[in-house]
Each structure stands twice: as structure tokens, then as C-alpha cells.
Chain A
Amino acid sequence: MSPYDPLENELRSLRPGPLPDGLRQRLASPPEMASEIESAPHWQWWTALASAAAAVVFTLFFQGGSPSISARPLASSRSERFIDARSLGFVDDGSRRAWELVELEFLDEETLVSTNGTLAMQTQTVRRQIVPVELHFD
């Protein structure tokens, strides 16, 4: 279509409707970035752990007790399992190359095994990774 097409010009001159006031208020400030979101729980988690450890030491020291540990964790193993992949969208890098952003999801497992061979503890963490995949239109 020509840039001088009167219909296109008339359409371009239409103004989209405004945002409702409620939505405008919800968008009043930028979102917290991921690092800001994660930092608080991390800090709280370490504080809670340190407090718990201090409480155990305090109790053992002043009550004269000693922990009864029948089996100390000796070995740990890690595994990584691919779970899912999903498309997040498409971007170009400014040089007319198109990329698809794909989010990959992995399940990380860490297992601690005690001396007597029993499972001591197992943690599972879902990890996400975003990778760009270049698209070709041949």
C-alpha cells in the first residue's frame, strides 16, 4: 500500500481508546526486577538458618547434651533432568535476524546418602534457562 493511501492515513489518525483509570494506577510504577524479588527471601532464609543453628548450639552448650549422630552424610550425587521447553516469543537483533526465545525447564536433584546406605536427604529444584534460537526462512 502506498504511504499516501487516504484510507491508511485516515486509519492512522484514529486514536486508540485510553487506559482505564484502574489499570493506569496498577501500572503507576515499574515492576520489581527478578533480582530484587529474589534478594529478600534469600536474606530471610539465611537469617532463619543462622538463628536456628545458634539456638541448637546454645541448647547443647548450656544443657550439657551432645548430639547423637548415628550416621554422618558421606556422599552426595546430583542429577539434571530436562522437563519442558516453551516458546516465549520472537525478537530480532537489529540486523534483520530473527530469534525465537525458548525457555527450557530442568529438574535438578541433589541426594545425600548416609554411611549405612540409606537416603539422608533429597532436594529438588526446578531451574529455568532462556536460550535464543536463530530462525531461518529458507
Chain B
Amino acid sequence: MALFRQNDHPLVATPNSSESWRAWLASRSETFFLYARQQTRCQSDAEDVLQEALFESWRRAGGLPPDNALVFATIRRRAMDLARGNDRRTRREGDAGAVEPLFVVDYTASDTRLQLVECVQKLPEHLREVLVLKLWGDLTFPEIAQITGVPVNTASSRYRYALEQLRGALSNSF
């Protein structure tokens, strides 16, 4: 039984080859980083968590591109471990740190699009987490439910609620 579902990836799977590692990162790393930033208090924490999580997931998959759900779950667990270990000083630094945009901002884009980026960043964490896992992580609701530790119906309703909040904030442009 294969425990880890390999991604549908156009790679010749040679365990732990630099080529497959780089190709995998090129296709997924920005989405993983987006999720890591959400789960941590500052960008440097997100970088540490992401590096550890990617290495761990890669090793657990035997040196092959691991399942996306496994990587997201590992990022989440690593971020929670870090948060438990963080002292109050780190927390203050994180709160005071500049907030980099989560998405590539094209300032020539329409106002609605810029507003959409802003609204996504302002969503409550638990709603934004589901939105990111669903839209950019390409996960199913059962996978999201497993990662976030909530029932499938809750994951699904959080996603709908996030979209409703965005629609409301954008004055029903969509």
C-alpha cells in the first residue's frame, strides 16, 4: 500500500534527485509559502517553518515529491510547535512587523482586484486558511478537514462563508 499519494507531476521519479526537488519546488513552493505565512507571526518564522516542513515531507516521501496535503499538514504542525515555543518578545516583534502582501500585487490592475487582495488578507484566519487550501492548495474538503481538524461540513461552510464575506466587502462586484 502506498501511504503517500504522489502528486500528478511530470517528473521522472528518481529518489532525492536535485532535478525533481527543484521542479517540485518551482511548481508548489509559493503556495506552500503563502500557507506558512498565514500560520506564523512573521516572515522569518514562515521561512524557517517552510524549510523544515519541506525537508521533513520530502524525507518522509522517500525523496520523491510528497502529497500536497501532507506538506500542508506538516507546515501547520511545525508552525504550531513554533508558536508554543515562542516567547513573548518574539510575539511582540511579530505583531509589530511590517505586513508584506500575500499575493503579487499588480498596481496597474483594476481597483476591484486590488481591493480583493486586501480583503483576502483581512479575512479571519480560520476562513482564510480554508480559502488558501482550497483555491491555491487544490485540496478537497475532506483533506482540508483533516488538516484543520474540523468536520468536513465545517470546512465546506467556512469556505462558503469566506466567499460571502468577500462578496459583501466588494459591494457585490461578483
Q: A-side interface residues toward B, CB under 8 Å?
A: 1, 5-8, 10-12, 14-20, 22-23, 26-27, 29-31, 33-34, 87-94, 96, 98-99, 101, 132, 135, 137
Contacts and interface: CB of A to CB of B under 8 A. Distances in A.
A18 B25 CA distance: 12
5 contacts: A5-B163, A12-B136, A16-B31, A89-B74, A89-B147
Interface of B: 1-5, 15-18, 20-21, 25, 29-31, 33-34, 43, 47, 50-51, 54-55, 58-60, 62-63, 67, 69-70, 73-74, 77, 100-104, 113, 116-117, 120, 131, 135-136, 142-143, 146-147, 152, 159-160, 163, 166-167, 170, 174
A31 B167 CA distance: 43
Contact of B47 (A20, A34, A94, A135): A20
Given A10-B116, A98-B146, 16 more contacts: A1-B159, A14-B116, A14-B117, A19-B30, A23-B33, A26-B51, A27-B51, A29-B18, A30-B16, A88-B74, A88-B77, A89-B147, A92-B5, A93-B2, A94-B2, A101-B3
A17 B100 contact: yes
B5 A23 contact: no
Given A17-B101, A27-B29, A98-B142, A34 B59 contact: yes
Contacts of A92: 5, 67, 69, 142-143
Contact of B55 (A31, A89, A90): A31
A60 B102 CA distance: 70
A129 to B, nearest CB: 14
B81 to A, nearest CB: 10
A99 B73 contact: no
B97 to A, nearest CB: 14
